[in-house]
Structure 1
Amino acid sequence: MASVQVTSVRFEHHDEPLGIGEPSPRLSWRVTTAEPGWLQAGYEVRALDDAGAVAWTSGRIDSGESHLVPWPGPPLGSRARLAVQVRAWGAATEPTPWSDPHAVEAGLLAPGDWTAEVVAPGWDEEPEGPVPAFRREFQIERSVRRARLYATAHGVYELWLNGVRVGDHVLAPGWTSYHHRLRYQTYDVTGALRAGGNALGALVAEGWYRGRLGFGGGRRDIWGDRTGLLVQLEVEYEDGSVAVVATDGSWRSAPSATTLASLYDGETHDARRAHAGWAEPGFDDTAWAAVLSQPLDATRLVAPDGPPVRRTELVEPVAILRTPSGKTIVDFGQNLVGRLRIRPRGPAGTEVVLRHAEVLEDGELGVRPLRLVKAEDRYILGGTGDVEEWEPSFTFHGFRYAEVSGWPGELSPADLTAVVCHSDMRRTGWFSCSEPLLERLHDNVVWAMRGNFLDVPTDCPQRDERLGWTGDLQVFAPTASFLYDCAGVLTSWLRDVRAEQLASPTQTPPLVVPDVLGWAFPAAAWSDVVTIAPWVLYERYGDLELLRRQYDSMVAWVDRVAELAGPDLIWDRHFQFGDWLDPTAPPEAAADTRTDGALVATAYFARSARIVSTVADLLGEEEDAKRYGRLADDVRAAFAREYVTPSGRVASDSQTAYALALRFDLLPDPARRERAGDRLAELVHTRDYHIGTGFVGTPLIADALVDAGQTQVAYRLLLERTCPSFLYPVTMGATTVWERWDSMLPDGSINPGEMTSFNHYALGAIADWLHRTVAGLAPAAPGYRRLAVRPRPGGGLTHARAVHETPYGTAAAGWSTLDGELLVSVTVPPNTTAVVELPDGSAPVEVGSGDHEFRIAYEPARYPPPRPPHTVWPKPGAEGE
């Protein structure tokens, strides 16, 4: 028998299971084997204590499940630590060897575990004033067995222990709906403690908690008007005794050398004002102020669901430019999110100013799209005589270009580096093909996701917004969950969506979460994130408990829409974003689009009702399943009565209208479906293959064309290069996805509209089609337990391939053409199966784990596809479709 091993044991969605918040974490593991067709028949879990002794064992459990299986032992208590091993049985009678031990440790699970108080600086804080520093010294008296530091803040913090930075998190504790949930982090600081004197230090900036957020000047102090620090250090000695050092009235505080720290406006650091050795024992803090302390409602404290924000990559300059006005600009060759790390040397008091922007316009820094954001960092040298390395700690920017002024001496590329920051998710998805522009488009989607998954899924990372817009994530969730393991990030965010929604008197989710705008009016596609995003995550990660937890949120939203729509079930009584930012939307009116907003709203009403019916069935809620199934049927019929003619024409007669009707199954009979599909293809043809969709239609149109038998039309639409099109931004040098199809006009000027970002992932939702249809790799069962391999070559491409790290292991699907043959290759992970459907119309084939190849005779479909007859061809950009 081939060697079989259990690897990659995980707890919930944690890559780092230290200080987790689940007392009974579900388990996942992978099996590695070269044995073809391997399927699990049973498994056993055992837990080891700190001494390596077996604490408990599950015994053999007859089950093929290996992803998110129930915790088979006693619940973990606060601070409990175990090492878990798994072994599995396949068809053989003997089990695999035990996996390596994987440690898991619970955090502080009960409010009563907390004794720390929140401490605030001992002076009246001015808005955007100096960042306060906090410190406290303590003694270590005996040999230490284990030490854990639990920390959070009203604001964003950095910690030091004995002068050494604790952890590598950026902008911790992150951004949550602080009235409902405040995250804390757990750090293992056992090796950082010293016998005798020790010192804890912290900086706390305003961050999201009380900093300026939102456009039009924004709002401040949304969750509170003072920064605060909460730290609890627990030191367990070898003799079993425990000492606790916690924030309380004994701590001291003083203004730090960081004199300004704003997420929007940037950071200023005056190295001349630094307190040398302030986080080390023995520092004289007699001149520092006493802190203000108060108890915290510990019921709001929660452990993280996913990874923290970290520095994930360093990007070096590709060029140093001189602008027409004589300014110095550094080009990093990639639009990214993070900040600069600089290395100046010069006299004390020299001020280096860094300004950031995504694009150049007329050779100068293009800052108009930033709106009311400075995006400006300043460093004032201490004049040590050596190179002074500095990087902001409490801000981030979206930029490709940085304007540098005040630099002492000649600026060289070695003097500065761009530091990329985002939630530290594991990359799980890749795509390649024979068209370089298409590969660059996919790279742009990846970079757009990286820039906008900074603790919460945001709309854009650069201007006076950077908010968790629900509509953007709703359309992008399938792409996001293929490219990265974002289950933890989105699980956390959906907890906030649910909390904000259910706290609303109308049970309406806010349009942005956390809610900084106070906009909780119902909006189709945006508010529907509460049904669609959990469903997508269930499809991609197989997390049934996520559906169970979000179920009341899903039901509340569909009930709310039913109330708003009224007895005719047509939701036409409120403002709608519609197909936001379709190409016809004028610069000043992003919602003034080709597709009727009420049509969009009613289509989404049907879709959400259908999802709730399906979820209710999965959860055993039989009456709900029937009720919402009937509602979905009734809305579907209402949509057809109101918006579909007997011949299959759909009101608005737009690409998005037909894509919605086809993909949401809103057309009542095959004849009208066929006519709608034909009409969609006609509309694409008549626009000379220019895209006509916005945020709502873009994720749907390619699939709708394929469903209508118009695969080559979908390819032709995908591969168009002139504006508006998917590849137009690529031809203009884009390295991320733009908010508008024409964020930059063909003459190189910036679109005059206020909504003009060069890093928005919504229109990048097309990447999901690249994975599922161009390469042919999709889930056929939740969590990829079963794969659907259905490649549909076209567009003149000669090869394409997608690779995805599923919960069970690496899956891949790809194809290539040569000499009249199509070669399809498939990789199926152990404990899964795949259904392979080749494009020659032959019967689907089911295969087990392993590598498989299929060869068929292949004649490429005619490309470009023929245009339909009897059509009048308007010039590109002309009014009407």
Structure 2
Amino acid sequence: MLSVSQLTLNGEPALTGVERLPLIGWKIESTRRNVLQQSWQLQCSTRADFSALVFDSGVVNSEESNNIELSEFLLQPSTRYFLRVRITDNHGESSGWSPEAPFVTGVMNCAWKGEFISAETPQDKANSKGTLLRKAFSVAAEKKVASAFVHATALGIYQLFLNGERVGTDELTPGWTSYQHHLLYQTYDVTALLNSGDNVVGAELGAGWFKGDMGFSRHRNYYGEQTALLCQLVIQYEDGSEQCVVSDLSWRSSDSARQFAEIYDGERYDATLAQPGWQRSGFNDSDWRHVSQIHWDKKTLVAQGAGTVKQIERLPVAALIVTPQGDKVLDFGQNMSGWVEFRVRGKPGDKVVLRHFEALDASGNVYLDNLRSAKQLVEYTLKGEGEEVWHPRFSWQGFRYVKVERFPGELNPNHFTAIVIHSAMEATGQFACSNPDLNQLHHNILWGLKGNFVDVPTDCPQRDERLGWTGDAQIFCRTASYLMQTRTFFAKWLTDLKHDQTPEGGVPHVIPDILTGHCDHDKFLAEGGTHSATGWADAAVINPWTMYLMYGDKRILQNQYVSMKGWVDFMRAHADNDIWRYKLQFGDWVALDAQEGSYFGATPEDLLCTAYYALSTSLLAKTAKVLGNEEDHQYYSALQTIIVERFQERFFTAKGDLTAQTQTAHIVALCFDLTPVAFRQRTADRLVALLHEHDGHLVTGFLGTPYFCHALSQNGKAKEAWALLLKDDFPSWLYQVKAGATTVWEHWDGIKPDGSMWSPDMNSFNHYAYGAVGEWLYRTVAGIEADESAPGFKHAIISPLPGGRLNWVDASYESMYGEIAVKWQAIEGKVVLSFRIPANTTATVKLQAVKEMGQSEGLEFSHSELGWSATAGSGEYRIDYLPDDSVDLTYSD
């Protein structure tokens, strides 16, 4: 039976707020094998029953089922549309209509009728209090409302209310962007919240990223000095008339009970100052003050259809601890980003004071030093009327533990719940195996993503930093994209990268860029500059290409192409005879082969810079080809060839040895295809020798670590790659697991074997960069690999790597076409491989280290020096083979 199980819009199940037709895709289900789509028909309607069609494609003979751009038809603003599709396949079957996928348009090309209004004055620039805004209006009683949508954004963080009800479930809106160039607005359906007659729309605003205290330099007012709201409520009546309620000077304002709210330092809320009913009609706002208008370029406004921050999970207290120093500490058992919600009873003026932190020290006491100047403190003053329930709204904390500094009455752990927040993304990756330590490592990698993908890809969620470091985001991008659907998330962040690039094409160290112009007291950055570090700035090229590889979406390449080209041209302009280096470089950051007291690894900067120069130039050339820009393709392909030749001349001796005898130098030379073919085996052997010099341990930093296992397994060193992954003493991934980590640490020895801490200056316990090894688990251990000639897993490569004394691995990836699943087991001397390929896709199955093929499920395997391979259509398969003696497995009966 043939069916379409899901329709997607820009990879999302629904979009609320778009300004152009989304890219359309769908997932096909069939009980048959080798299913390929033959035709499709798409319809778009303004009614869910499709009785009001605005578009019908007719039957289109095509195998294409993702990233489809409809021929343009005129979208109306503030309107809900529904899409559906039906298909036929190569077996003569036809599907029924798919479930519909809705989307809502934003303001579109209509001029915003509202203005940015503020409850603050310029004298409030150092103020971190919350403010309230409200507007009473009437809905015509004699008319019936057909629909009502509100479009809103803020300079600062806002929450919107209509008739006392919260509008939407988004948090920390409108998020953090390069505000002067790119300000997102959100769209909500509020039809069900409207009353006939009297209504009130209201908002609470906080400082947020816009004017708050941000960065390790602790500056504020990066983008402006006053919070402000822009709101446009569009009410459409069934008679065709329309009413708009907009933010203007008729609104009234007041201070909220939120006396203080800052992202790093937390919140202070006094419930005795709350004004009940302020969001409802009948409230007397005569003593509220007038608002002022803030001038802001509305051309920066862009609709955000998906990917907002939301409350995702709720976790109970795992344990109540009384420390040796007598502190009462709640342990939630998991390092995370979010809030603590509590229930409390007490007298008016009683307080709850909670301090959030990540780790206990060697003695089991509260450890706050690694937070640096961030307070992570929330304080709630009770109103004293029955049970009160509260959690922060305009900040968030990175924590596992909470010190309860004040709490009225008996402390009951059941009255506390941790609420996990992060950008809403579909979970796409699943990984489990017979080694529980690897399962915990995978868990830690996933929770590193959850903790740091809070609107922007932050380095860490707890201390006075939480910045969008480009290097961390680049390193982890592919891993993140196996774990979750990151297409929307990274497209948004890369737009800000494009806007924050220097006129010459340099890429700031952090996006959004709040370092430039604010680093006078940081010797590092004041002297070295705030942009264009290799491996960091290369996010401009590597991340868009990764999105294309994982999702097949050319739009992101089109949107970022000028930025990608700008970065490569920047390197070219500053290269000396094609060897590239520029000002401050982080190099192989925090590598263990660094000199004592240094963060900079031993691998020479010019080697690393030139290696990444070659890589980014290669990816730019490929991008130009994908986009049909043949002139650029030829130019940058030729440039990449020249760079590789210069790299080999400069950094390889005549005997074939690298001039830098570090693990990272050998890793990038192998993984970036910079090694002369004649010296490839020698380079791989030398990498293994360097590994053995450290008793099989890595000493790599940010740039070498992500590629280490790849460099080994791709060059005939699978056993060494497995051994490296499974090391469990310092330094290793599993050392952290054995130490009880629930996320990935910033340093291999963030907590030392004796329980003492690495330097408090830079010691996050939720720092995902080294979690990039997760990519190897999916691409190599499970063997779920994309094919760049058919991106988005239209054609997949299934090539698992059994080993590590495991006896099974079970993994899956929910691609845009459907689930790709791989399971291998070691049974009675054989490897039994089961896999599933989604409909309308194909795969090449590649097997290595095979002594003898067994059952092949009708697949026709051929043999070459590279191993055994076969082409598979969609469906489920089960094959087995006898591995050779190089494969180290634990067999079950």
Superposition TM-score, scaled by structure 1 size: 0.95
Aligned 8 A contact 1:13 1:305 in 2: no
Q: Which residue number in structure 2 is paired with residue 138 of structure 1?
A: 137
1:610 to partner: Cα distance: 0.8
Q: For 2:709, what is the secondary structure of its paired residue?
A: helix
1: CA distance between counterparts of 2:594 and 2:22? 48
2-side partners of 1:136 and 1:573: how far apart? 54
Q: Does 2:854 match 1:844?
A: no
Shift of 1:90: 1.0
Compared CA separation, residues 587 and 4, structure 1 to 2 (3 A):
farther
Does the Cα contact within 8 Å between 1:587 and 1:752 map onto a contact in 2? Answer: no
1:875 alignment counterpart: none
**What's 1:818 paired with?**
827
CA contact (8 A) 2:16 2:306 kept: no
**Counterpart for residue 314 of structure 2:** 314
Q: CA deviation at 1:18?
A: 1.9
Q: Which residue does the alignment assign to 2:434?
A: 434
The amino acid of 1:344's aligned partner reads V
CA displacement at 1:80 relative to structure 2? 3.9
Partners of 1:109 and 1:547 lie apart in 2 by 23
Distance 2:794 2:84 in 1: 22
Give the deviation of 1:95 after TM superposition. Answer: 3.1
Query: What percent of counterpart residues are identical?
Result: 40
Give the whole-Å Cα distance in 2 for the aligned partners of 1:587 and 1:182.
44
- 1:378 corresponding residue in structure 2: 379
- Partners of 1:92 and 1:788 lie apart in 2 by 24
Match runs of 1:106-505 below 5 Å: 106-110=105-109, 112-121=110-119, 123=121, 124-125=123-124, 127-141=126-140, 142-216=143-217, 218-304=218-304, 306-361=306-361, 362-384=363-385, 386-501=386-501, 504-505=502-503
Pair 1:302–1:427, CA change in 2 (3 A): same
Cα deviation, residue 25, structure 1: 1.9
Q: Which residue of 2 aligns with 1:17?
A: 15
Counterpart of 1:659? 667
Deviates more, 1:98-107 or 1:458-467: 98-107
**Cα distance between partner residues in 2 of 1:421 and 1:723:** 32
What per-residue deviation string (whole Å, max 9, x for no partner) do you get for residues 179-216 of structure 1? 00111111100011111111111100000001011103
User: Structure 1 residue 521: deviation in Å?
Assistant: 2.6
User: Which sits farther off after the overlay, 312-321 or 48-57?
Assistant: 48-57
1:525 corresponds, among 522, 535, 556, to 535
Offset at residue 618 of structure 1 (A): 1.3
Distance in 2 separating the partners of 1:236 and 1:598:
62
Give per-residue Cα distances to partners, 1:253-296, cap 9 Å, x unaligned.
11110000000100000010000111110001111111112454
The alpha-carbon deviation at position 11 of structure 1 amounts to 1.6
Alignment partner, residue 869 of structure 1: none
Q: Which residue of 1 aligns with 2:611?
A: 603
* Corresponding residue number in structure 2 for 1:874: none
In the TM superposition, what whole-angstrom CA distance separates every residue of 1:616-651 from its partner, at most 9, and x where no partner exists? 111111111111111111110111111111222212
Which residue of 556, 576, 584 corresponds with 1:546?
556
Q: What is the aligned partner in structure 2 of residue 569 from structure 1?
A: 578
Contact 2:124 2:226 in 1 (8 A): yes
Contact conserved, 1:260 with 1:267, CA < 8 A, in 2?
yes
Q: 1:795: how far off?
A: 1.2
Per-residue CA deviations over 1:552-611 (Å, capped at 9, x if unaligned) read 111111111011112x211245331111111234685322x1211111101000111111
Q: Which amino acid aligns with 1:34?
A: T
8 Å contact 1:776–1:792 — kept in the other structure? Answer: yes
Rounded to whole Å, the distance in 2 between the matches of 1:126 and 1:117 is 20
Q: Which of these residues, 610, 617, 640, is aligned with residue 625 of structure 2?
A: 617
AA aligned to 1:802 is A
Q: 2:34 aligns with which of 24, 33, 37?
A: 37
**In structure 2, what is the Cα distance between the partners aligned to 1:689 and 1:117?**
62
Distance in 2, matches of 1:771 and 1:308, equals 27
How many Å apart are 1:241 and its aligned residue? Answer: 1.0
Pairing 1:728–2:735 present:
yes
How many matched pairs? 854
Q: How far 1:82 sits from its partner (Å)?
A: 2.5
Q: Distance in 2 between matches of 1:801 and 1:570?
A: 44
Please state how far the C-alpha of 1:862 moved relative to its aligned partner: 6.4
Q: Deviations over 1:719-753 (max 9, x none)?
A: 00111111100010000000111111111121015
Q: Secondary structure of 1:224's partner?
A: coil
Task: Give the alignment of 1:689-704 within 5 angstroms.
Answer: 689-704=696-711
Q: CA RMSD in A?
A: 1.6
Kept after mapping to 2: 8 A contact 1:157/1:202: yes
Query: Which of 668, 673, 676 is matched with 2:676 structurally?
Result: 668
Q: Is the 8 A contact 2:128 2:262 kept in 1?
A: no
Alpha-carbon contact 2:249-2:290 (below 8 Å) kept:
yes
1:56: Cα distance to partner? 2.6
- How far apart are the structure 2 equivalents of 1:149 and 1:365? 45
Unmatched 5+ residue regions in structure 1? 866-881
For 1:465 and 1:68, locate their aligned partners in 2 and report how far apart those are by CA, in whole Å. Answer: 37
How do 1:858-877 and structure 2 match up within 5 A?
A: 858-859=883-884, 861=886
Instruction: Provide the rounded CA distance (Å) in 1 between the counterparts of 2:74 and 2:724.
Output: 54
- Offset of residue 54 of structure 1: 2.9
Offset at residue 99 of structure 1 (A): 1.5
Say if 2:781 and 2:802, in contact at 8 Å, map to a contact too: yes
Normalised to the residue count of structure 2, the TM-score between the two structures is 0.94
Q: Which residue of 2 aligns with 1:649?
A: 657
- 1 CA distance for matches of 2:785 and 2:825? 18
- CA shift digits 1:94-147 (9 cap, x unpaired): 53222233222211112x431001111155425244211111111111321100
Q: Is the 8 A contact 2:43 2:83 kept in 1?
A: yes
Per-residue CA shift, 1:320-373, capped at 9, x if unaligned?
Answer: 111122111100000010011011111111111110111011222211111111
Deviations 1:473-507 (A, max 9, x none): 11111101110001001001111111111xx2322
- 1:609 and 1:154 mapped to 2: Cα distance? 38
Q: What amino acid maps onto 1:708 in structure 2? A: N
Q: How do 1:793-804 and structure 2 match up within 5 A?
A: 793-804=802-813
Distance 1:283 1:161, change over 3 A: same
Give the aligned partner of residue 708 of structure 1. Answer: 715
1:855: which partner in 2? 880
- Are 2:758 and 1:751 aligned? yes
Q: Among residues 567, 586, 590, which one is paired with 1:557 in the alignment?
A: 567
Residues 1:573 and 1:307: Cα distance change in structure 2 (over 3 Å): closer
State the distance in 1 between where 2:120 and 2:465 align.
32
Provide closer, same or farther for how the CA distance between residues 516 and 587 of structure 1 changes in structure 2, counting only shifts above 3 A. Answer: farther
Measure, in 1, the Cα distance between the counterparts of 2:256 and 2:150: 23
Determine if contact 2:475/2:703 at 8 Å carries over to the other structure. Answer: yes
Residue identity matched to 2:413: P
Q: Which amino acid aligns with 2:587?
A: G
Match of 1:356, SS state, is strand
